[in-house]
Structure 1
Amino acid sequence: MRSTSAGRLAALASTVLVLAGGVSVGAARAEVPGGPITYSIEFSNPRESDDNDLPEPYGEVTVRAPWGQQTALWEHPDRDINTPTLPRYPLFGGAEHRYAPHPVSAVCAFVGEDDTGINADDILADGCVPYTGPGEYTISAEGGSVTVTVYNFG
């Protein structure tokens, strides 16, 4: 009977140590400060039908921390007829670099597309997707999509 109690006590102590280790690992992971992020963004509006068939996006693309803090990767106001045509950011290929002072848990895009005249503005992206590491993240809406390619983070 005594060896069974000792075995249970050892198992309990082992479980406590495993749980304590898991908590400290989780806490350490939450304290990661972030780092540089290398990325590019593509804007798609299949319904665009003006002279050049390219979108005139406005809004913002961000990365978010688990607690909601955001770092802007791209943002542009709606300037009506003066909103520039931008199918990709950076415009001429390559990648952009920013510093995110927090861990990243989501990639978000809230992007409209300016249409003047008789057409109403389209919504290209409206939401967030979970960040899982370098790769492509596409956020869509009824008017198109925004694809953020993360090449490196941290």
Structure 2
Amino acid sequence: MRLRSAGRVAAFASTALMLTGIANVGAAHAQELGGPGPIYYSITFSNPRESDDNNLPEPYGEVDVRAPWGQPTTLWEHPDVGINTPTLPRYPDFGPFDHRFVPHPVSEICANVGEDDTGINDDDILADGCLPYTGPGDYTISAEGGSVTVTVYKFG
């Protein structure tokens, strides 16, 4: 009778240690991805084909970070308001960076950003896609009309 009880205790302990190890690996992976927590970042918009008075882009669209299961958290967004789309070469306008709370781990940084051109020109696409998140650093997402660079200074 004691051997069976000892065997059950050993099996239970072994299972508990294994589950603890799996939980620790899951936590380490989430920490590797970053989050949840505050993300400190800045965004630079580039359109080399811009040729109006100030040679600066008028971006519209969205930049976000996404969880492994696809949940987005928006870092920047602006609607296309035609001739009233503001000139914005960098976000934030003032200060070195902005921050946002992200309630999930991050596996990708994504941008879908156009650039408003009025008159006879068609709008340019500056960025359309995602890059895998690997930690603080620069992430440049490009398209045929330019690029968007998201600089992550710190996450979590």
What TM-score, normalized to structure 2? Answer: 0.82
In the TM superposition, what is the alpha-carbon distance from 1:91 to its structure 2 partner?
1.1
Letter in 1 for 2:125: I
Q: Quote the residue 1:142 is aligned against.
A: 144
In the TM superposition, what is the alpha-carbon distance from 1:94 to its structure 2 partner?
1.1
Q: Quote the residue 2:25 is aligned against.
A: 26
Alpha-carbon distance in structure 2 between the residues aligned to 1:101 and 1:17: 28
Q: What is the root-mean-square deviation of aligned Cα atoms in Å?
A: 2.1
Alpha-carbon distance in structure 2 between the residues aligned to 1:44 and 1:111: 11
- Determine what percentage of the aligned residue pairs are the same residue: 73
Alpha-carbon distance in structure 2 between the residues aligned to 1:18 and 1:115: 60
Structure 1: 5+ residue stretches without partners:
1-15
Alpha-carbon distance in structure 1 between the residues aligned to 2:93 and 2:145: 21
Distance 1:18 1:57, change over 3 A: same
Q: Quote the residue 1:119 is aligned against.
A: 121
Q: Is residue 2:69 matched to residue 1:67? A: yes
Q: Quote the residue 1:35 is aligned against.
A: 37
Alpha-carbon distance in structure 2 between the residues aligned to 1:119 and 1:93: 33
Alpha-carbon distance in structure 1 between the residues aligned to 2:109 and 2:128: 11
Equivalences, count:
139
Contact 1:39 / 1:96 at 8 angstroms: preserved in 2? Answer: yes
Q: Quote the residue 1:153 is aligned against.
A: 155
Contact 1:54 / 1:86 at 8 angstroms: preserved in 2? Answer: yes
Distance 1:79 1:95, change over 3 A: same
Alpha-carbon distance in structure 1 between the residues aligned to 2:142 and 2:20: 40
Distance 1:131 1:70, change over 3 A: same
**Can you list the C-alpha shifts for 1:59-98, whole angstroms capped at 9, x where unaligned?**
0000000000110000000000000000000013410010
Among candidates 44, 60, 65, match of residue 46 of structure 2: 44
Q: Is residue 2:81 matched to residue 1:79? A: yes
Contact 1:30 / 1:103 at 8 angstroms: preserved in 2? Answer: no
Structure 2: 5+ residue stretches without partners:
1-14
Among candidates 63, 83, 96, match of residue 94 of structure 1: 96
